Structure 1
């Protein structure tokens, strides 16, 4: 386990300088794409390809297919039509119709990849890893037979008495709740491998996770998220000069601006990519949380704010269809 944590930290250090080249599989493929295009001739590329293992070859191929399809459809005027066309061709080519959701346990052989691929809240320590797989936490992944030990997407869920209003209370808290206290299932991070970014794996994963939790804990009343607002500060500072050292003075106006930003649209889509993801899956915004992520990342992205989205199972399908077809946002 300590060796695994060392590899996680080593990868994270290397990723800082190779961010633009990070394709999908961080174990080795951080360098593959850069090396591939730097090679002078086809023979050298063939030699490089032969050095990759089976999974790395498939992931690299999927990445190139995804990029080629995006270029093929890039001139479509309707972004949603374009995305659906790319996704459908990608699913057909990659045979991704038979995806299976599995719960990922502490002793799972894929736990190292879960830690490495985590894109929202990076793993910081061995304690952090153990806490994310504790008795009041659940981690689920989507898998396909052709990549049995490769999570295409995965979700982390905290089982809590109430909806969480800050991320520190989830990832830094040592308090473990008993099943009798579980009232809310709060998704606090969901990650999809970039090779499959054109396919909405999140919807199937969230639906399947909720169904699994309903069977295991029928007393759960609320299915929610605690989600970042990654581009809000950029959007807000175009309109308002914020003194970050006196952030509390701007609370009321920033909260109002954030509420406006979450539902602001362009060409039938909301501006915020995370909001777009959740609206595409049938969620509704519930509450903007002040000082919910006081990390440097949280300050830079959203002035430390986060947002809860609510998933109401019986209404999800109608809501995502309304958003996709008409651009309607339910608040």
Structure 2
């Protein structure tokens, strides 16, 4: 098969447009033989590339049950040899303190290196190989929930992807309305915070008072890994519908003194656990400061995506905050049409959100809210709560319309980060902290 044909076929299969079949016993035995060839590294580079391409094509053509079996074979049958590891470990223990210690250590390291790594690494050489591995891990994460036997393979693949997607290899690009249409379509597809409703909506987010930046990997030039949307303003924005209003006049970006990060979307499920969002923000801030020297304030307008989930686990917090409506009633948002209820719920909902950000924790002690974990872990401060800031159905469903501004104050970032990392201390403005304590 010609190289271009293979690329097209793999791309089509990886995206799921091809028919998928079962892993028959005969095909399974053939698959095992191909995996053994990969693990043993038979032949030269051309042979390895061809073998990996055949394996990728086989995998991409399987249904879910077949893919799960494929991954389980790699996980269970191509790990380190226990006898070799035991022998190498005994030799290392005997060599400690002798001139042969370092050779014994090297031998132990080789013994512990599983054939799974050799198999995975060979996919790197084929067209679309890196994307194939990222999508393969997305499958692996789905199957892992019901099949703990896949955990070792997941850890090894995550480790390899972390190395291959090190931030030093990533490229930051600003995307504009003039970027390739296929790339703009992916922004619409991948936007995870505030749905892009139309091409007009997207064009508004790419206007002169907006910026959109994305990280790319050289081996995946057509796939943004993560992207951030920025609004240039002269105030701390507190309502996302106003921010995304397609009919609002375009702000003169030359007068901007504030950059609002209002959406950050990870696009590749298979890169879960591979962290580069913090580097994206730092790079974007540097880029904005260079282009707009007047910018003095960098903040977010962020959702509270797990607030309703926390209330569901702790229903007593509603009454404690002075809220008489049920979780279900709050989540519909219909109460917001009643001006009397609007006024009555302002302080209680802000109190609830402040206590959530200040006190809601995971079992590990980390903040319950994933967006909060991200920004606090990068040294931001919880600056201000915004009532009825997101009146979309999703906004009411996940946080009763509440949103929050996180502020990146450069003189405080390192101090905030160190306090959060060392003892979990959350940086908060005096106003939000007072709301968290209010009776």
Regarding TM over 0.5, the answer is: yes
- Paired residue for 2:210? 137
The question of 1:99 aligning with 2:170 is answered: yes
State the TM-score, normalized to the length of structure 1: 0.77
The question of 1:283 aligning with 2:380 is answered: yes
Change (3 A) 1:67 1:313: farther
The question of 1:186 aligning with 2:283 is answered: no
2:130 corresponds, among 27, 35, 58, to 58
CA-CA distance at 1:317 after TM superposition:
3.6
After superposition, give the CA deviation of every residue in 1:275-300 in whole Å (9 maximum; x if it has no partner).
11111222111111001011111111
The question of 1:296 aligning with 2:279 is answered: no
SS at match of 1:214: helix
- Paired residue for 2:282? 207
The question of 1:254 aligning with 2:349 is answered: yes
Report which of the two has the higher share of helix.
2
CA distance, structure 2, for counterparts of residue 182 and residue 105 of structure 1: 19
Alignment gaps of 5+ in structure 2: 1-10, 32-54, 63-125, 149-154, 319-324, 336-340, 429-439
Q: Is the 8 A contact 1:91 1:97 kept in 2?
A: no
Q: Is the 8 A contact 1:86 1:198 kept in 2?
A: no
Alignment gaps of 5+ in structure 1: 1-25, 76-83
Q: Is the 8 A contact 1:286 1:309 kept in 2?
A: yes
After superposition, give the CA deviation of every residue in 1:160-187 in whole Å (9 maximum; x if it has no partner).
1111110011111421111332111001
CA-CA distance at 1:196 after TM superposition:
1.8
Change (3 A) 1:219 1:117: same
Q: Is the 8 A contact 2:303 2:371 kept in 1?
A: yes
- Paired residue for 2:121? none
- Paired residue for 2:72? none
Larger deviation, residues 239-248 vs 138-147: 239-248
The question of 1:231 aligning with 2:306 is answered: yes
For the aligned residues, what is the CA RMSD? 3.4
Change (3 A) 1:314 1:224: same
Larger deviation, residues 157-166 vs 170-179: 170-179
SS at match of 1:281: coil
- Paired residue for 2:426? 329
1:35-74 matched pairs, under 5 angstroms: 39-41=22-24, 42=27, 46-47=57-58, 49=60, 54-55=127-128, 57-65=129-137
CA distance, structure 2, for counterparts of residue 86 and residue 260 of structure 1: 38
After superposition, give the CA deviation of every residue in 1:252-293 in whole Å (9 maximum; x if it has no partner).
222111101012223231011111111122211111100101
- Paired residue for 1:158? 231
Which protein has the larger Cα radius of gyration, Structure 1 or Structure 2? 2
Change (3 A) 1:236 1:95: closer
CA distance, structure 2, for counterparts of residue 107 and residue 28 of structure 1: 29
- Paired residue for 2:115? none
Aligned residues: 293
Larger relative contact order, structure 1 or 2 (CA cutoff 8 Å, min sep 6): 1
Change (3 A) 1:325 1:226: same
Change (3 A) 1:164 1:85: farther
